[in-house]
Amino acid sequence: MTNTLRDSPAISNPVPVTGKAPGRFVGKGTSILAGLLSLLSIWVVWEIARLWGGRLPSLAETLARLGTEWAGNEIWINFAVSINRFVLGLVLALVVGAILGVAIGLSKFAEAALSDLTMVGLAAPAVIWALLTTMWFGFGWLTPVVTVFLSGLPFVVVNIAKAVRAVPGDLILMARAFEVPRVRGLSQIIAPAVAGSAIAAVRFAVISAWNGLLLAEWFGSTSGVGWRSRYWYDANQMDGFLAWVLLFMAFLVLVDQILLAPIERRATRWRRV
């Protein structure tokens, strides 16, 4: 009997697909439960710290302060100022970082010339940039914008360079052999290949740049969320200070989890099949 493709079970039977990695919980309910547990653990740690030293306000007092800041329009005004600076610095970091990252990814000369500088950038904590820019530019809008730019830039450069190196040359040759139009090759080979690392670049840059922004406003500004938290710190009002710390963290978590993480999951969902 001739062994054809159709009657060969070893070949024609599809590989079973489970849709989830073995031994890992990925259900929506599980994720919500994990998130709630995480919030609960923060509250427990907060309460222990409050009872231990007797210096911390309760969570309720802190939230009440947040309410008065809200009522006084402090949150909106300062957030608007900060977001303005943040977006400007971040967009600059993404554009310049993408150009440098592509250059490093494609050229050995650019890699040799820029990789040490990038490592220095990665190693420098955001507080160093914040102090340097404050001394350099003084109190003004340029200090936080440049700090955001410098804090985010190295992460964009490293991840974009990694993305460029990840472009599969064999698929490019395949497209050339079939004379696939260049635009289709760009959208269906290059873009998906770099998407994961590019989004990771944005996520790391957002986190690092946000830290830089807060520090720059703390040291070198008279407005913005960093400045407002320092206002309460200088007034020795722990509830006001912690209210703003909570706000910083909540903002970052929300941007990351609601905006960036789903985009990354969508761009890389083929890896999980």
Partner 1 sequence: MANIEIKQLEKTYTDAKGRQTRVLDSIDLTVSGDTFVSIVGPSGSGKTTLLNIVSGIESATSGSVSLREGGRDAKVGYVFQDPRLLPWRTVMQNLSFVQDDRSDWEVRARHYLELVGLGHLGDRFPAQLSGGQQQRIGIARAFSVEPDILLMDEPFSHLDAMTSRSLREHLEQIWLQSRKTVLFVTHDITEAVQLSDRIIVLAPGGRIHETIEVDLPRPRRASDPRVAVLQAEVLARFEALEAAA
**Least distance (Å) from partner 1 to the CB of residue 15?**
6
Contacting partner 1 (CB under 8 A), which of 31, 58, 68, 188? Answer: 188
Q: Which CB sits closer to partner 1, 2 or 73? A: 2
Contact predicate 220/137, CB 8 Å: yes
Between vectors from CA 175 to CA 169 and to CA 177, what angle results, nearest 5°? 105
Contact between 17 and partner 1 (CB under 8 A)? yes
Least Å from the CB of residue 174 to partner 1: 4
User: How buried is 30 (Cβ within 10 angstroms: 0-12 exposed, 13-18 middle, 19+ buried)?
Assistant: exposed
Q: How far is the CB of 40 from partner 1 (least distance, A)?
A: 37
Residue 144's contacts (CB-CB under 8 Å, 6 or more residues apart) are 82, 85, 86, 89, 133, 212, 213, 216, 217, 220, 221, 224, 226
CB-nearer residue toward partner 1: 4 or 236: 4
Q: Using the rule CB under 8 A, which residue among 1, 14, 21, 123 binds partner 1?
A: 14
Name the segment binding partner 1 (CB under 8 A); options: 82-90, 130-138, 171-179, 230-238.
171-179
Q: Which is nearer to partner 1, 14 or 23 (CB)?
A: 14
Q: CB–CB of 204/157 below 8 Å?
A: no
- Minimum CB–partner distance for residue 113 and partner 1 (Å): 21
* Residue 84 or 268 having the CB closest to partner 1: 268
Q: Shortest gap between Cβ of 164 and partner 1 (angstroms)?
A: 17
Alpha helices in 166-221 (DSSP H): 169-177, 182-185, 191-220
Question: What gap in Å lies between CA 113 and CA 191, rounded to an integer?
Answer: 26
Whole-angstrom distance, CA of residue 53 vs CA of residue 67: 25
Where do contacts with partner 1 occur on this chain (CB under 8 A)?
2-6, 8, 10-12, 14-15, 17, 170-171, 173-181, 184, 188-189, 192, 270-271, 273
